[in-house]
Amino acid sequence: MFTKPRRWEGEHFDTQSVHAGEPKEKPFGSLTMPIVQTSTYHFENTAALVEHMQRKVDGLEPLRGEYGRYGNPTQEVVEQKMAALEGAESALVMASGMAAITCTLLTLLSSGDHFILTVDCYRKTRQFSLEVMSKLGVSCSLVPLGDYTALEAAITPRTKLIFSETPTNPYLRVADLPRLVDLARRHGLLTVVDATFGTPYNIRPLDYGVDLVIHSATKYLGGHNDLLAGVVVGSAEQIKQIREVHNMMGAVASPHTLYLLLRGLKTLALRMARHNENGLRVAQFLERHPAVRRVWYPGLPSHPDYEVATRQMKGFGGVVSFELATDLEGTARFIDALRIPYMGPSLGGVESIVEQPALMSHFTLDEKEREELGIRGELVRYALGVEDPEDLIADLAQALDQVPRKASVYPEETTQHTQHS
Ligand SMILES: Cc1ncc(COP(=O)(O)O)c(C=O)c1O
């Protein structure tokens, strides 16, 4: 513990996102938490060193720093803020969302174990689960999100945990958390939820009994497209176990990154309110537009998880996925005609970002492999920033006017993505 948090952080999310986890008195009377740019910490004398080491032997929390890989004052403040925002006992911040995912899976699973991952998820999470965990003797089954019969059927005597995103990437599928937790508990399984697309502003999976929540803090939590970080939150005991592995793996976020993340978190509530507004208004606009074949947004009654999402979520975020009534080339023309968003692979920042998954995240797959994952050529993932919704809609309208209408090359009933919905 480097710092003592202030005593009253407010009852509301917005107040907590500004104040939670921060000591009121900071070094030099600074109002903001300073960046402590150090790789190591020194001890005043041998007695101080021995006291510190003895606390470690006794399994007590350290009262001060020892080495940068084990923690940093700015990291500790971010972790306390994240724990408060998620209603968690503890949090651990790392260098990226993938660091948080890989470190958590490596801590919780051992050779001979099996786990279940929902199909519609971040591609690197799926690749790590199938290609790297298998090398360590850990097997993984993929199950479509929303199919709870298939989920239960995939459980074996070796199954240890269920990993799901909510909402998922790119179809924004929303896990029915009470149902997921009930099923997992009946079989004695842990639940891990990647809630990057949700953020604690829109959904707090721990409130439903989920064991661990992971975020790519690179996205909404940082919020400005200028940092990479990851977070895992959960019980003090589980986070302690993951921290021990993390201390060896060493994927630490730099003090400067941690400062940017802390600063980003302070405006999370304000930004999310605008992301939610932009997401809903753009989704409604797209659904009415004749050049758009289909829209996925959990705030639309047409989304397969609309009912679950409205029950569980405060808002539905800034990502809208949609298919145009054209082909891959027509979709590329539409994207090139957009004037506001950047073309790129991320989401959750103040600047809007758009991507055509077939030509970006899934470029290395052939058409058949893409189709199996339900990624069509005319699919667009639009991560709306915090720009004015009227401007975003006007920009979309002019770009849609330039789309040449063509029939889909995909027969509706044979693609995986129609099975998803
Ligand atoms: C849902 C989800 N989880 C995890 C990650 C990985 O996060 P990072 O890029 O911070 O490693 C991403 C990245 O796009 C993501 O979309």
**329: CATH:** 3.90.1150.10
* Claim to verify: residue 385 and residue 353 sit in the same structural domain: yes
Give the active site residue among 113, 120, 176, 194.
194
CA of 98 to the centre of ligand 1 (A): 6
32: number of Cβ within 10 Å = 11
Q: How confident is the model at residue 70 (pLDDT cuts 50, 70, 90)?
A: very high
CB of 91 within 8 A of CB of 82? yes
Q: Which residues neighbour 333 within 8 Å (Cβ) at sequence distance 6 or greater? A: 402, 403, 404
Residue 265 identity (one-letter amino acid): L
Give the active site residue among 41, 113, 120, 122.
122
Instruction: Give dist(CA 321, CA 120) in Å, integer.
Output: 13
pLDDT, position 6: 67
* Known catalytic membership, residue 176: no
Q: Please indicate, yes or no, if residue 335 is contained in any of the structural domains.
A: yes
Cis peptide before 170 (omega within 30 of 0): yes
CB of 352 within 8 A of CB of 404? no
CA of 182 to the centre of ligand 1 (A): 27
Q: Please indicate, yes or no, if residue 414 is contained in any of the structural domains.
A: yes
* Claim to verify: residue 295 and residue 385 sit in the same structural domain: yes
CB of 79 within 8 A of CB of 88? no
* Claim to verify: residue 310 and residue 255 sit in the same structural domain: no
Give the active site residue among 173, 219, 243, 294.
219
* Claim to verify: residue 183 and residue 218 sit in the same structural domain: yes
Q: Which residues neighbour 330 within 8 Å (Cβ) at sequence distance 6 or greater? A: 324, 378, 403, 404, 405, 406
Q: How confident is the model at residue 155 (pLDDT cuts 50, 70, 90)?
A: very high
Structure tokens at 20: 């939670």
Q: Please indicate, yes or no, if residue 31 is contained in any of the structural domains.
A: no
pLDDT, position 340: 98
Q: How confident is the model at residue 407 (pLDDT cuts 50, 70, 90)?
A: low
pLDDT, position 412: 57
Counting Cβ atoms within 10 Å, is residue 209 exposed (0-12), middle (13-18) or buried (19+)?
Answer: middle
Q: Please indicate, yes or no, if residue 187 is contained in any of the structural domains.
A: yes
Q: What is the percentage of the chain residues whose pLDDT exceeds 70? A: 95
pLDDT, position 414: 36
Q: Is the pLDDT of residue 51 over 70?
A: yes
* Claim to verify: residue 201 and residue 213 sit in the same structural domain: yes
β-sheet bridge partners, residue 17: none
User: Which of helix, strand or coil describes residue 116?
Assistant: strand
* Known catalytic membership, residue 219: yes
**138: CATH:** 3.40.640.10
Last residue of a domain, one of 216, 234, 266: 266
* Known catalytic membership, residue 69: yes
Last residue of a domain, one of 247, 266, 285: 266
Residue 89 identity (one-letter amino acid): E
Helices (H) and strands (E) in the chain, counts: 16, 12
β-sheet bridge partners, residue 342: 353
> Which residue, among 293, 289, 321, has the nearest Cα to 305 in the 3D structure?
321
Write the pLDDT tens digit of every residue in 366-382.
888 888 778 899 999 99
Give the closest residue (by CA) to ligand 1 atom 7: 97
Give the closest residue (by CA) to ligand 1 atom 6: 97
The ligand 1 atom nearest the CA atom of 228: 10
Instruction: Give dist(CA 360, CA 38) in Å, integer.
Output: 38
Last residue of a domain, one of 217, 237, 266: 266
Instruction: Give dist(CA 204, CA 418) in Å, integer.
Output: 29
Give, in order, the Cα–Cα distances in Å from 247 to each of 56, 133, 242.
14, 20, 9
Structure tokens at 248: 């060896």
Give the closest residue (by CA) to ligand 1 atom 10: 97
Mean pLDDT of 106-116: 98
* Claim to verify: residue 362 and residue 225 sit in the same structural domain: no
Instruction: Give dist(CA 173, CA 175) in Å, integer.
Output: 7
The residue with tokens 């919780």 is 108
The ligand 1 atom nearest the CA atom of 196: 1
Looking at 188-235, list the stretches that DSSP marks H as alpha helix, in order from N- to C-terminal side.
199-202
Across all residues in the chain, what is the average pLDDT?
A: 93
Which of 138-165 are b and which e, b meaning 16 or more Cβ less than 10 Å from the residue's Cβ?
A: bbbbebbbbeeeebeebbeeebbbbbbb
Write the pLDDT tens digit of every residue in 258-277.
999 999 999 999 999 999 99
Q: Please indicate, yes or no, if residue 48 is contained in any of the structural domains.
A: no
* Claim to verify: residue 334 and residue 384 sit in the same structural domain: yes
Q: Which residues neighbour 388 within 8 Å (Cβ) at sequence distance 6 or greater? A: none
Pocket lining: 169 vs ligand 1, CB cutoff 6 Å: yes
Question: Looking at the 3D structure of the chain, how many domains does it have?
Answer: 2
Radius of gyration of the chain from its Cα atoms, rounded to whole angstroms: 22
Q: Is the pLDDT of residue 76 over 90?
A: yes
Q: How confident is the model at residue 115 (pLDDT cuts 50, 70, 90)?
A: very high
Structure tokens at 285: 């606009």
Q: What is the percentage of the chain residues whose pLDDT exceeds 90? A: 85
Q: Please indicate, yes or no, if residue 27 is contained in any of the structural domains.
A: no
Mean pLDDT of 100-117: 98
Q: Please indicate, yes or no, if residue 126 is contained in any of the structural domains.
A: yes
> Which residue, among 289, 319, 295, 281, has the nearest Cα to 401 in the 3D structure?
289
Report DSSP letters for 22-48, one per residue.
--SS-GGG-SSPPP---SB---SSHHH
Report DSSP letters for 277-327, one per residue.
HHHHHHHHHHHH-TTEEEEE-TTSTTSTTHHHHHHH-S---SEEEEEESS-
* Claim to verify: residue 253 and residue 144 sit in the same structural domain: yes
* Claim to verify: residue 310 and residue 184 sit in the same structural domain: no
* Claim to verify: residue 261 and residue 398 sit in the same structural domain: no
* Known catalytic membership, residue 366: no
CA of 214 to the centre of ligand 1 (A): 10
Write the pLDDT tens digit of every residue in 241-256.
999 999 999 999 999 9
State which residues form the domain around 240. Answer: 73-266
Write the pLDDT tens digit of every residue in 298-349.
999 999 999 999 999 999 999 999 999 999 999 999 999 999 999 999 999 9
CB of 325 within 8 A of CB of 331? no
CB of 253 within 8 A of CB of 103? no
Q: Is the pLDDT of residue 365 over 90?
A: no
CA of 176 to the centre of ligand 1 (A): 21
Q: How confident is the model at residue 222 (pLDDT cuts 50, 70, 90)?
A: very high
Distance between the two ends of the chain, CA-based, in angstroms?
A: 47
Mean pLDDT of 17-36: 94
Residue length, the chain?
421
* Claim to verify: residue 261 and residue 296 sit in the same structural domain: no
Q: Is the pLDDT of residue 7 over 70?
A: no
Q: Is the pLDDT of residue 90 over 70?
A: yes
Question: Among 104, 168, 169, 172, which residue has the most ligand 1 atoms within 8 Å of its CB, making it the best to mutate?
Answer: 169
Question: Among 129, 164, 196, which residue has the most ligand 1 atoms within 8 Å of its CB, making it the best to mutate?
Answer: 196
Q: Please indicate, yes or no, if residue 65 is contained in any of the structural domains.
A: no
Pocket lining: 230 vs ligand 1, CB cutoff 6 Å: yes
Pocket lining: 348 vs ligand 1, CB cutoff 6 Å: no
Supply the pTM of this predicted model.
Answer: 0.94
* Claim to verify: residue 303 and residue 409 sit in the same structural domain: yes
Q: Which residues neighbour 368 within 8 Å (Cβ) at sequence distance 6 or greater? A: none
Pocket lining: 355 vs ligand 1, CB cutoff 6 Å: no
